[in-house]
Homo-oligomer: A and B are copies of this chain.
Amino acid sequence: MSKSTNFRPELQQQSSINEELDKIEKFFQQLQRPKNLNEIRNRTEKFCQENSDRKIVLITSGGTTVPMEHNTVRFIDNFSAGTRGSASAEYFFDTNQYAIIFLYRHKSLEPFARHFDGLFSNLKYDPNNDRIEVSETIRPKLIQTLTKMKESSNRLLKITFTTLSEYLFILREMTALLRQYGSRVMLYLAAAVSDFYIPPDNMAIHKIHSNGPLRLHFEMVPKILRPLVKFWVPDAFVISFKLETDADILLEKAREALNRYGHKLVIANELNTRKWKVILVTANESELINIDRNSDNPIEIEKLIVTNVVQRHEKFIKNLL
């Protein structure tokens, strides 16, 4: 009797897992596989092999788009300039311990390059000596950055996405590759990924006409963090981010995510204070990280976040070994 009591929940659990995996598989089947997925896979594989002596961090960054039409003129986007991801990539780089896969939204901020947004307007041509000169305001920082990049460009792999489906396909492909590196792998999922999408079957073929009010119906994107943590990279150190605009529900949402997905750490942040305050939430505790934003020489909060999660990753590796 007790046997059957024990057995049933297992059966139920098993069937619910299969159901969940089926749902995700069906979800992927209806989306269009990116044409360059094999090429991305090959580049990533080569990169990991070349960096076999290092830990690996996969950083996702920037927002995903969700098309409203097959011939896409309009789309839903998630606000994210890519600051968190690109800044974090630099601090991972500075540790000298990690090979960094930077999976980012096309045109969002990139590590190092982000500091030189107005680069073009800072250049001048001097015809007398046939030289292109960089303005003094950015020259010292530019030299410092170029020197750093030159020394270790082989430790940073940059891959872009634009749409939600590109993001999901690439992420799944990468985790399949990273799985073999076990606990040496950290996933730092800072991208702002859409929770909603319009299933391709319900989507308008052509540009939606503007001859009256518009009603749109979005379905929920299945929570892929769950199969990712459980099946795709079961031994990796997975960190997700939770952004809310309402501080009152932030911690609750972070705990909910930990419970649901079973990963190690949620970095919770509020839209308006995210540049100087985050909370690192685990199953048992939470740790506040903040910086003095009124300081004369403020550091970026990503520096503190990265230092913290690198230590956590180190402990995680040791506990497993």
Contact = CB atoms under 8 A, between A and B. Distances in A.
Interface string A205-236: 11100101111111111000000000000000
A213 B220 contact: yes
Interface string A105-132: 0010000110010011101110100011
Contact of A244 (B207, B220, B271): B207
Given A124-B146, A215-B216, A74 B73 contact: no
Interface in A272-288: 272
A74 B215 CA distance: 17
Nearest to A223: B210
Interface stretch (A75-83, A168-176, A180-188, A305-313): A75-83
Given A76-B68, A207-B246, A120 B112 contact: yes
In the complex, which of the residues A120, A132, A207, A213 has the most CB atoms of chain B within 10 Å of its own CB atom?
A120
Contact of A69 (B150, B221, B245): B245
A27 to B, nearest CB: 14
Q: How many copies does the complex hold?
A: 2
A243 B150 CA distance: 44
Interface string A137-166: 001001100110010000000000000000
A113 B116 CA distance: 13
Contact of A73 (B78, B123, B131, B134): B78
A74 B78 contact: yes
B127 A132 contact: no
A65 to B, nearest CB: 7
Interface of A: 65, 68-69, 71-79, 107, 112-113, 116, 119-121, 123-125, 127, 131-132, 134, 139, 142-143, 146-147, 150, 192, 194-196, 205-207, 210, 212-221, 243-246, 271-272
Nearest to A133: B132
A127 B119 CA distance: 20
A245 B139 CA distance: 46
Contacts of A195: 210
Contacts of A196: 210, 213-214
A77 B79 contact: no
A215 B217 contact: yes
A248 B207 CA distance: 13
Nearest to A115: B120
15 contacts: A65-B77, A71-B245, A71-B271, A74-B77, A74-B78, A76-B76, A77-B77, A124-B146, A206-B244, A207-B243, A207-B246, A210-B220, A210-B221, A215-B215, A215-B216
B207 A245 contact: yes
